[in-house]
Amino acid sequence: MYQAISWYDSNNTKIIIVCGAIMLLTCLKQDIRSQSNRNTPPPRNWTFQLNLNTATASELENLPQIGPTMAQRIVEFRRHLPNKTFTSLSQLQHVRGIGDKTIIKITPFLILSQAE
């Protein structure tokens, strides 16, 4: 009347192996995701302001879109200004390679005060 079900039946074994593999892969995927999140640096939430009249080239490199060459151009341009100081951020337009878009991006990080 009743047929005994063997746990060692090849169909049952295949199903158990497939389910086990799916669970194992799911666990590994979650572990890999959590490890990759740990290696991701937190977003920068800090802000800073540089005095355009006293900042060094290496300090200016911290500005968005300003690399070593551009930072050095800013410092060189400043040396040729009257009193070696910027009086307006718009003067940055005269530095080769700096345009309106760059000025808009770096303006929040700059202040102007007299060099000491």
Tell me: the pLDDT tens digits for 90-105? 999 999 999 999 999 9
Neighbours of 59 (CB within 10 A): 15
Give the pLDDT band (50/70/90) at residue 23. confident
Considering the entire predicted model, what is its pTM? 0.59
State the Cα angle at 80 between 47 and 113, rounded to 5°: 35
For residues 28 and 33, give the distance between their C-alpha atoms in angstroms, rounded to a whole number: 9
Range of the domain at 24: 1-40
Question: What confidence score (pLDDT) does residue 115 get?
Answer: 56
- Separation of alpha carbons 49 and 87, rounded Å: 16
Tokens of 101: 């878009």
Is 84 in the same domain as 104? yes
Count: domains in the chain: 2
Q: Both 79 and 28 in a single domain?
A: no
pLDDT at 3: 62
Q: Is the pLDDT of residue 7 over 80?
A: no
Same domain, yes or no: 67 and 96: yes
Flag whether 45 is in a domain.
no
Helices in the chain by DSSP H: which ranges?
10-39, 57-60, 68-79, 100-106
Compute CA distances 62 → 45, 51, 57, whole Å: 14, 13, 9
Assess whether 87 and 36 both reside in one domain.
Answer: no
Tens-digit pLDDT profile for residues 25-73: 787 777 666 665 555 555 555 578 999 999 999 999 999 999 999 999 9
pLDDT at 41: 55
**Residue 15 has what pLDDT?**
79
Give the CATH number, domain containing residue 60.
Answer: 1.10.150.320
What's the gap between Cα 50 and its chain centre? Answer: 20
**Does residue 116 belong to any structural domain of this protein?**
no
